[in-house]
Amino acid sequence: MRTLRAAARLQWWSMRGGLDDRQSFVLAPLFVLLFVGVVRARGHAELTAQAALGAMLVCLWNLCVQISGGVVANERRFGTFELTAAAPASFPTVVMGRVTTIAAVALLVVPEVWLATLLFFGEAVEVPHPGLFLIGIVLITFGMAAAGTLIAALFVLARNVVYLQVAFTYPFFILGGLVVPVSLLPEWVQPISRLVFLSWGSDLLRAALDPAAPRQVELQILGLFAVSALTFAAGRMLLTRLVDRARRHGTLGRA
């Protein structure tokens, strides 16, 4: 627990000092203008809340990918990766504490997007099912922490983190159902999409914003939790094996 708290404090102070870590907060109002502006320009003002939700999820995922990848990339850049990996504290635990902090701070995007929608379009985003929305947000936060752990593990292997960040960003806008619901994707893509926690989370939050009675929410909640848990397990196992292997072979600097 002490390691988790120390890692969380480290990440908090790191994010306070870096503009790159805050770029999604700067871009959030622009995503609102794009997503909400498009649906309203097409005469579908009733989709304002759903479009704002899409902007919010895009910003959350951007933060998750960019900052979680930076956990390892910045350690390498500052020459502290070897010291962190060689420390007595478990390296996966340190990463978990940092990415969990990232996921928690990223939630500030939610009120920001809601406020931007109100200021730009004069319409408040209503949440007909607040309890369901809260459950979705909590589970998505867990999912982002899990995905951040896996991304950080993969960045241990990456030579050029920029390419990997791009690969984890734009394709997942589609696979995660952030731009359009998964049900509108081609049938052959949908099973692949269900391997991404965002696809379950986006469906759950859309149900929370729909005035109609939610349907199949139990399946969505179970799917979101299960995929997030499997993602976290995979990320922790991969991170542990990669660091242990680098220690054994003395290749931490080139890992």
Q: For the segment 58-97, what is each residue's pLDDT rounded down to a tens digit?
A: 988 888 887 776 676 666 666 666 666 666 677 777 777 8
| Backbone φ/ψ region at 84: left (φ over 0), alpha (ψ -120 to 50), beta | alpha
Report the pLDDT value the prediction gives residue 62, as an integer from 0 to 100.
Answer: 86
- The whole-number average pLDDT for the span 145-167 is 76
Rounded Cα–Cα distance for residues 101 and 209 (Å): 26
Residue 156 confidence (pLDDT) above 60:
yes
What's the domain count of the chain?
A: 1
Rounded Cα–Cα distance for residues 42 and 88 (Å): 58
Residue 21 confidence (pLDDT) above 80:
no
Rounded Cα–Cα distance for residues 244 and 238 (Å): 10
Average per-residue pLDDT for the chain? 82
Closest CA to 96 of 252, 194, 240: 240
- How many other CB atoms are found less than 10 A from the CB of residue 224? 26
Residue 52 confidence (pLDDT) above 50:
yes
Report the pLDDT value the prediction gives residue 117, as an integer from 0 to 100.
Answer: 94
CB 109 within 8 A of CB 25: yes
pTM equals 0.85
To the nearest 10 degrees (0 to 180), the angle between helices 48-77 and 197-209 is 150
CB 33 within 8 A of CB 120: yes
Q: Which residue has the higher pLDDT, 218 or 215?
A: 218
Residue 144 confidence (pLDDT) above 60:
yes
Report the pLDDT value the prediction gives residue 192, as an integer from 0 to 100.
Answer: 92
Report the pLDDT value the prediction gives residue 255, as an integer from 0 to 100.
Answer: 46
Q: Which residue has the higher pLDDT, 20 or 70?
A: 70
CB 73 within 8 A of CB 161: yes
Structural domain containing residue 57: 2-254
Report the pLDDT value the prediction gives residue 78, as an integer from 0 to 100.
Answer: 64
Q: What percent of the chain has pLDDT over 70?
A: 78
∠222-111-62 over CA atoms, to 5°? 65
Residue 251 confidence (pLDDT) above 50:
yes
